[in-house]
Structure 1
Amino acid sequence: MKKIKLKNIIYIILIALFIIPQTRTPIQVAINKLKVYLFSPSAFAKADQTQLPPFTYQLRTIDGFAHTAEIGQGKVTFISYWATWCPPCIAELPSIEKLYKDYGDKIDFVLITQEEPDKVKRFLERKELSIPAVFPQMETPELLYESTIPTNYIIDASGKIIIKEKGPADWNSAEVRETLDGLLSETAH
C-alpha cells in the first residue's frame, strides 16, 4: 500500500512541475538533453542529398551589421534555425558551441533566429555561448524551409545538403566531426 501512495505522490509532483511555468522549461530542456546525448545526426546517402542552387543568404548580425552567407559558393556551411524559448534548441546549443569553437574558422556557421536581437544577446550571455546568432533579412529559401525548430543543416561547398536534422541532436559527435573533416578535405583539393 505504501508503494502505491509513494508512486501517486511522485506522479502528482511531476505533474505539478510540468504545470508550474518556472519549472516547465528546465524540465523540457533536461529531457531534450537526454535526446542530444543519445542521438547524433548522420549524413544522407548520396542519392538523398538535395542540391541547392548557389545563393547569398542576406542576414543581420546581433550588433545590427549586414552579413551574408554564400551558400554553395565554395565553403562548407552549418545552418541552424532556432529560438531562445525552444527547449530542444537550448538542449543542443552546447554541442553546437563546441563544434563552433573547433570549426568556426573553417566552416560558415549561420544560426538563424527571428527574435529580438537584445533578447538573443542576453540569452547568449546568460548561457555563456559565443555562437554567431544572425537574423534573416530575406525569406527562407524554399528548399530549407521547415516549420520545426530546431532544424539544422550541414551543406557542402557546392550546395548539397549533406545532413538535415529536425529536433535536438549531438552536433559535437565523432560522426559529425568525421563528416565535416571529409567535406573540408574535399574543399581543400
Structure 2
Amino acid sequence: MKKKLKKELIEWIVLITVIGVIYFGGWHTEVIGRVQQVVLATGIIKPGLVDEERKASYDFAIQDFDGTSIQFSEFEGEVVFLNFWATWCPPCIAEMPDIHELYQNQKRNVKFVMISLDRDETKARQFIKRKEFEFPVYFLRSSLPNTYDTHAIPTTYVLNQEGIIKVENHGMAKYNTDSFNSLLNELTKSQ
C-alpha cells in the first residue's frame, strides 16, 4: 500500500511540475493553441455567412508593422479578410496557421487585415516573426466603430467590394477549406 501511495504521489508531483513549467515558462498559450489546432484540423468548426447582411464601416485608423499609419478606408472597394487576434489568445494562435495557408491561396485577390489587439506590440511582432507568417499585421490607432464587435477574439469578418459584411465569426474557425476558398473566389469575381 505504501508503494502505491508513493508512486501516486510521485506521479502527481511530476504532473504538477510539468504544468508549472509550461505555465510559468509562458508556454501555456502555445500549448493550448496546439491542442485547439487539433480540433480545427477536424473541420468541425467552420465560419458561415451572416444571417443578416449589414454595411461595414471603414472609419478607423490602423498602423502597419513598419509604423505607417493607414486609414482602413484605403481598403474600400476590395474583398477584405479582417481578423482581430492577440498573442495571449489560444484560439487565435490555433487558427493562425490555417489563416496563413488561406492567405497563401488568396493573397492576390483578397486583402488580409490581421489586427493585433496586443498591448505589447513588440510581443506581436516577435510572434509573427518567429512563426514566419507573411500576412500583413496591423495595430489599431483609433477606436473601432460599433459595426465590429470584438468582445470575443478571435473575431473575423469578410467584407465584399461593396462594403457588405458577408462573414462574421466570433471564435476560432477553419478558414482554408474548399468551400471558404470558393466563397472568396466568388466574392472576388466581380472585381
Superposed pair shares fold, TM > 0.5:
yes
TM-score (norm 2): 0.81
Cα pair 2:89 2:153 within 8 Å, conserved: yes
Cα pair 1:84 1:123 within 8 Å, conserved: yes
Which residue is equivalent to 1:3? none
Amino acid at match of 2:155: T
Which of 80, 104, 109 is residue 106 of structure 1 equivalent to?
109
Which residue is equivalent to 1:62? 65
Residue 173 (structure 2) pairs with residue 169 (structure 1): yes
Which of 148, 153, 156 is residue 149 of structure 1 equivalent to?
153
| Cα gap change, 1:12 to 1:159, in 2 (>3 Å) | farther
Residue 45 (structure 2) pairs with residue 43 (structure 1): no
Ranges in structure 2 where 5+ consecutive residues have no aligned partner: 1-6
Supply the RMSD in Å over aligned alpha carbons: 2.9
Q: Where do residues 82-121 of structure 1 align in structure 2 (5 Å cutoff)? A: 82-115=85-118, 116-121=120-125
Deviation at 1:105, TM superposition (A): 2.6
| Cα gap change, 1:72 to 1:132, in 2 (>3 Å) | closer
Ranges in structure 1 where 5+ consecutive residues have no aligned partner: 1-5
| Cα gap change, 1:85 to 1:42, in 2 (>3 Å) | closer
Cα pair 1:59 1:137 within 8 Å, conserved: yes
| Cα gap change, 1:49 to 1:65, in 2 (>3 Å) | same
Which of 127, 137, 141 is residue 137 of structure 1 equivalent to?
141
Cα pair 1:42 1:163 within 8 Å, conserved: yes
Residue 33 (structure 2) pairs with residue 29 (structure 1): yes
Q: What is the distance in 1 between the residues matched to 2:8 and 2:167?
A: 42
Residue 133 (structure 2) pairs with residue 126 (structure 1): no
Query: What is the DSSP-based 3-state SS (H/G/I as helix, E as strand, rest coil) of the residue aligned with 2:54?
Result: coil
Q: What is the distance in 1 between the residues matched to 2:9 and 2:37?
A: 26
The farther-off stretch of 171-180 and 21-30 is 21-30
The farther-off stretch of 157-166 and 16-25 is 16-25
Larger Rg: 2
What whole-Å deviation, never above 9, does each CA across 1:145-175 have from its counterpart, x for those lacking one? Answer: 2211111111111222211112221111111
The farther-off stretch of 167-176 and 32-41 is 32-41
Which of 78, 86, 109 is residue 81 of structure 2 equivalent to?
78
| Cα gap change, 1:158 to 1:25, in 2 (>3 Å) | same
